[in-house]
Chains A and B, each alone.
Chain A
């Protein structure tokens, strides 16, 4: 990590900047994003072919216009009354027919290519969303939600633009350029060759643009992420912002990142502003050369005026799609930078992968064992060689000071992480051999972070078990003591909890989270500080309920308040990643060791 600029100081230093990469990997990135694009296009290859055919029809119709006009001039129109009116009318009728075909093919093509684009976009959305959800928690800790949001919204949006308008103009342009080149050469080979002389210049200009715009658009993508992350976070924490008068500072930071986003955009706009007119200029130069050379040929009597006229008109049609192509190329470069990012996410693989051949557990009893489990988080050892067997149905309390490794043990049981060494088993089967969906049904964690989704209270409860009946849902809420306050809400279970459940107090949210977990009916339930926000009567009610609810379940309870530990069959005292005491609460209490002193401290805190 290099020294940070003063303007960046507020962000602080972090060990990994996922977004930064050296220019040398740019080639790899491009390859990766091309692969993604190809895999997206594959299902639509026949439809794309049909779109190509429609384009050919449309272009043939469109391109025959100057030809027909030329024909009309050469055969129908002679100055001074010597024209052939019949020939002119024939040409006009042919033209009208051609125009109708052109319009019809145009409509059909736009419709079809629009559909392909939208379908491909939907595929990409599905694919990406599913993939991101599959990724492990360690990914989310590294990648941050703001960045994920940015990938799934603004990067996909950049691609939408490419698919919505870009594809149409690109295919049209390529077909037009190829067809017109053929027509030009057919009309007059000599003039055609003059036209082709401009091509190397066009290619050189394009190469320059590609190189620079790729860099500029990467800068745009990098900048928008900062804007989105700051926006989402600071508005999400608006209470703290107001309470601590951070509005001006936030505004400063926002204007800084937003300004960087603007500058990156101005840069890429400047490049596009050079590239587009550059192509036009090359077209003008070519026209001039053609006029000079063609004029010479006409004077020499080797070319008719009509052919030269048609040629000049065709040249116009040659460079107009070239300009479209340059527009498309611009959109493509913008989308390309987004695609690189998306491809990057797609290449992430879950660090907690689903087993290829999962072991079927059938009826899960719920015994959990740690066999020589060691775990290091970002190279920092958290747990050392833990040996532990939790028989099915046991209620185990984990106690210890902050940072002792309690939460890590809980997360290992839920397989949010895999151990660095050793193994964990459920009913004797290695967790890594159990399909993740089966494991999640069996093991549920309730944390103090009682996140609620937008929607009604009922919907949030049913998140635990979507197929549960309303009676089961109410029973779960009643058992935990949440029914009374839910019923008192304006619409009872159908009350909208608003954004992140702000409608409820934090204790109420925790009760809902609790009920949600019970509705899920897991064999193994992990409660990680799950009662921290409850008042004592609610906590007592929860504890009371736990006695019945935890019967015939395995439970692991982490709590700072030892009142929750009272219902445990067994207590494990952790210190710095090692088990230092293990036994029934009463025994440990008597022994007067670590647990004894913790218990004393807790009792004193009650006084």
Chain B
């Protein structure tokens, strides 16, 4: 996993949040309502003990029952106000933070979508999933509860302290002294919890990865009867997570017990000192009761401190994990000054192309030169793993060259707008990628509206007429990864997708490997008409498909070692013969 190491920082989760706070900006109105309601609810909650004190000290002590009713009315009125304020506070903090969460997740997804393919190759999708779902939810929870409670706790402390001060400043001072250890306890706790939280979330991601692989690789697991092996892997990981969670539980239990101890302790001090004051007549009993109510008011925010601290640490690690993704810049993006290409004749040139995977020293392609004329179909032939697919991926910039250039109509593909470049290229991958969506959606993908006649033409070319027979025709959802379709059907759908909209350039990566021989022949016949006037790069393993190619390029050792027609190369090139001749004796070694 890349970027595992992280900077040590001693700030609170608050600072890690800086980046996400702008997401609250559109909802500033909601936040304002929330702020007002927050103050209102605090004022109401603070006023209630005051009124109770006055009822006890006034009408009850002085036996004036008549005055009790209006004061009770006041209490009910304040209670109702409190209800309204708390409702507004909670509802609007919820709405604002949920909207923020949604926007953040949308942007996170958008960012991931724009990241280059090589990025996705390197990341476990489980890790990406746990970041998008649970880490973003953690940030939201901290914003909606944690941050709010943080502010509320500070405001409560300030308000309660002022109220206490007006009642009796000496007692207030005593309470403050009792609360001082909070700072130290908090520091020790956050230092410890920081480490736990990070491990927790990483382990959660690893667990998600195992789940994801089980769910997608279940056929293989079942084919080999390896359920127990996978179960064991999963359980080992789940046990690690449990152990980490338990560490978290212990740390939280410690800090919460200590933090609730402090206000209770100050209550005792208040009772003792306040009692003395009452005895000396400098404080009324009602005053003492009110003072104690205030101390009780502190108990709850104190309780919350432990919780908020753990939440803030979780939020910090969550945002670190998010940042790891958000800080990755798309390596394949529009350059400054990139232009679009309205029309394209389809002249392709690979000029001294070299490619290696990021972070690897191994050149997959090196010094590769190949030019293709408009309308020409070139077959790419090479051994398994020779880099044919990689070469094909360079044209639509699924990967970028490490050196050299790929030119389309004489323009470096990196100087074109990605969308413009890709609009001229139709791609069919060897492993057809279908999404859980309707056939129609899978064919059209991201292209502008396609008319029905064009759709029909593409389906006909790929001999994918079976789609009309599906229960709901083109509206039928082709199950996840096309489970309900056979391999050959999926490939034909992927081929129809590639030729849809008549792109000027076609990149077809062994597009018929799963199609039966009869269907292959029929598809090739119709493909031949499509390929007229279209530039095509055809990755092939079999001579049959090569009939479509005007010319063949043989790739070996990362470069084009020979070009020519199939017949020529069969005659002149030993390696080529070895790769494509059916009659070639199995005992003969492929020349190195």
Contacts and interface: CB of A to CB of B under 8 A. Distances in A.
The dominant DSSP class at the B interface is: helix
Contacts of B456: none
Interface string B410-452: 0000000001001101010111011111111100011100000
Contact of A9 (B120, B438, B489): B438
B214 A133 contact: yes
Given A81-B280, A126-B235, A604-B521, A278 B579 contact: no
A243 B396 contact: yes
B582 A536 contact: yes
Contacts of B372: none
A515 B194 CA distance: 45
Given A231-B109, A402-B489, A601 B521 contact: yes
Interface stretch (B20-28, B92-100, B159-167, B347-355): B92-100
Contact of A85 (B279, B281, B419): B279
Contacts of A244: 422, 427, 445-447, 497
A152 B216 CA distance: 13
Contacts of A316: 293, 296
Contact of B268 (A11, A96, A247): A96
Contacts of B215: 132, 140, 145-146, 148-149, 152
Nearest to A109: B253
B264 interface: yes
Contacts of A401: 516, 518-519
Given A284-B79, A540-B584, A10 B219 contact: no
Contact of A103 (B261, B275, B510): B261
B135 to A, nearest CB: 12
Contacts of B475: 9, 12-13
Contacts of B76: 284-285, 288
B476 interface: yes
A287 B433 contact: no
B516 A402 contact: yes
Nearest to A445: B223
Interface residues of A, number: 185
Interface in B318-334: none
Contacts of A92: 268, 271-272
B535 interface: no
B226 interface: yes
B579 A537 contact: yes
A269 B129 contact: no
Nearest to B580: A536
B582 A115 contact: no
B488 interface: yes
A13 B130 contact: no
A336 to B, nearest CB: 18
Contacts of A140: 215, 218-219
A309 B289 contact: yes
A233 B437 CA distance: 10
A448 B445 contact: no
B43 interface: no
A145 B208 contact: no
Interface stretch (B54-62, B147-155, B557-565): B54-62
Interface string B91-134: 10011001101100110011011100100111111001110111
B199 interface: no
A10 B90 contact: no
B510 A463 contact: no
Contacts of B514: 448, 529, 532, 560
Q: Which residue, A234, A277, A448, A504, has most C-beta atoms of chain B within 10 A?
A: A277
A274 B83 CA distance: 8
A463 B220 contact: yes
Contacts of A561: 517, 542
Given A13-B438, A110-B253, A118 B384 contact: no
Contacts of A14: 476-477, 479
Given A235-B113, A463-B224, A72 B271 contact: yes
Contacts of B157: none
Contacts of B189: none
B225 A437 contact: yes
A505 interface: yes
Given A79-B279, A153-B129, A243-B396, A281 B214 contact: no
Contacts of A230: 436
Interface stretch (B8-16, B241-249, B400-408): B241-249
B516 A299 contact: no
A236 B362 CA distance: 25
A244 B434 CA distance: 12
Given A129-B234, A284-B79, A295-B60, A235 B120 contact: yes
A228 B221 contact: no
Interface in A120-160: 121-122, 125-126, 129-130, 132-134, 137, 140-141, 144-146, 148-149, 152-154, 157
A137 B257 CA distance: 50
Contacts of A206: none
Interface in B510-567: 510, 513-521, 541-544, 547
A69 interface: yes
Contacts of B281: 79-81
B242 A287 contact: no
Contacts of B130: 153
Contact of A95 (B230, B235, B271, B388): B271
Interface in A151-195: 152-154, 157, 164
Contacts of B441: 9-12
Contacts of B78: 284
Given A560-B514, A561-B517, A129 B268 contact: no
Interface string A241-284: 11111111111001100110110011001101110111011001
Contacts of B484: 141
Contacts of A132: 214-215
Nearest to A244: B445
B129 A308 contact: no
Q: Which of B60, B90, B207, B393 is most buried by chain A, counting CB atoms within 10 A of its CB?
A: B60
A118 B247 CA distance: 11
B90 A269 contact: yes
A562 B357 CA distance: 36
Contact of A607 (B80, B260, B486, B543): B543
B564 to A, nearest CB: 18
A440 interface: yes
A548 to B, nearest CB: 12
A106 B260 contact: yes
B302 interface: no
B341 interface: no
A605 interface: yes
Contact of B582 (A287, A444, A606): A606
A425 interface: no
Contact of A280 (B82, B120, B586): B82
Interface stretch (A355-363, A506-514, A585-593): A506-514
A537 B83 contact: no
Given A245-B445, A299-B63, A451-B217, A499 B476 contact: no
A232 B94 contact: no
Given A255-B106, A454-B213, A606 B544 contact: yes
A36 interface: no
B231 interface: yes
B389 A506 contact: yes
A79 to B, nearest CB: 6
Given A247-B446, A284-B75, A505-B389, A141 B483 contact: yes
A441 interface: yes
Interface string A62-81: 00010001001100111111
A295 B436 contact: no
B109 A444 contact: no
A287 B516 CA distance: 81
Ranked 9 nearest A-B pairs via Cβ? A440-B225, A12-B438, A114-B249, A284-B79, A12-B477, A507-B384, A246-B446, A83-B279, A269-B94
8 contacts: A10-B441, A133-B227, A148-B215, A272-B90, A276-B90, A277-B90, A402-B516, A506-B431
